[in-house]
Structure 1
Amino acid sequence: MHPYLITAKPGRFRRTLTAARVWTVRFLALTVMTVLGAVVLTVRCARPVVNYLATRAIYLELWAAQRIGRPPVSGFVGAGITDEFVNEFHRARRTATATGSAS
């Protein structure tokens, strides 16, 4: 006696639907991975350009500040943001618990 006589074997239509569902999920996962990879690659490639443009903007602001006779604003804003990030980082380190990272 064949085992599929006791338990019903899925029909061709059901097996086709299951295969289509499996391959659709695989295709969607591959598409998501490809899109995310392209975004990450674009951001990583653009980073040196952004750094260069930021450096040029700072030099331009320093030049304008010298001509006007006022202090540059980005130095004050950048230092304040940096200090806040450092404070937040140290606050997070002090309040972190060892039990939160258990595997």
Structure 2
Amino acid sequence: MHPYLITAKPGRIRRALTGVRVWSVRLLALTVMTLLGAAVLTVRCVRPVINYLATRAIYIELWAAQRLGRPPVSGFVGAGITDEFVREFHRARTATASTGSPR
């Protein structure tokens, strides 16, 4: 190896390509952050509307179930999902409480 190769600076083209690469990655990261932020904002803004529509759908289903004389399906499905969430929450809470305890 020749000593002048160790201290040689990269040429203008290589430095320009490096600058383009760095700024393109930064621009890509900014674009991803902006899109994710817009998605989160949209979900947070639409959530009350979804909650309202779900409540209205439950009332309509209850009304229809009364007219037909059958039990509402959403009550069974919703109760099962709620029970599973509660079980998972308690399982996670007791697992972290027992493993993270200093005693």
**TM-score (normalizing by structure 1):** 0.84
Deviation at 1:11, TM superposition (A): 1.3
Identity of aligned pairs, percent?
A: 81
Match of 2:60 in 1: 60
How many residues were matched structurally? 95
Which ranges in structure 1 are unaligned for 5 or more consecutive residues?
Answer: none
Match of 1:88 in 2: 88
Range 88-97 or range 55-64, more displaced: 88-97
Question: Which deviations, in whole Å up to 9, do the C-alpha atoms of 1:23-75 show, x marking residues without a partner?
Answer: 00000001100111111111111111111110110000010011111221211
Q: Which amino acid in 2 is paired with 1:58?
A: I
Match of 2:7 in 1: 7
Match of 1:18 in 2: 18
Q: Distance in 2 between matches of 1:88 and 1:77?
A: 17
Deviation at 1:14, TM superposition (A): 1.2
**TM-score (normalizing by structure 2):** 0.84
Range 72-81 or range 56-65, more displaced: 72-81
Which ranges in structure 2 are unaligned for 5 or more consecutive residues?
Answer: none
